Amino acid sequence: DAGVTQSPTHLIKTRGQQVTLRCSPKSGHDTVSWYQQALGQGPQFIFQYYEEEERQRGNFPDRFSGHQFPNYSSELNVNALLLGDSALYLCASSFASQPGNEKLFFGSGTQLSVL
């Protein structure tokens, strides 16, 4: 049973460019959350997708957008990249029918470097 898979594992971009990160949830999971983890810090919640809609959003600008597909996989898009967007981006999946007690499964992340 495959866990949460993310691609690519590493990515280097230039300021002003756009980037798309991808996530496939654990089998049987229908909810995907994205987190940004800056170097030496804890992850910060970006947003969560369920039933192909953004269910909740953290304190991130509109340059960060996402999408969830009918097969529950998800993409995170970041436009107009800034140096400060350099971070590890983690995807986590869960099963929505366990409200309040969701057990999140995390992927290994995509390391984004903005030069």
| Binding segment (CB under 8 A) for another protein, from list 11-19, 22-30, 70-78, 86-94 | 86-94
HEC string of the chain equals CCCCEEECCEEEECCCCCEEEEEECCCCCCEEEEEEECCCCCCEEEEEEECCEEEEECCCCCCEEEEECCCCCEEEEECCCCHHHCEEEEEEEECCCCCCCCCCEECCCEEEEEC
Which listed residue (24, 48, 68, 74) binds another protein by CB under 8 A? 48
Nearest distance from C-beta of residue 101 to another protein, angstroms:
7
Does residue 104 touch another protein according to CB under 8 A? Answer: yes
| Binding segment (CB under 8 A) for another protein, from list 18-26, 36-44, 60-68, 76-84 | 36-44
What residues make contact with another protein under the rule CB under 8 A?
A: 33, 35, 40-45, 48, 55-56, 58, 88, 90, 92, 99-104, 106-109, 111
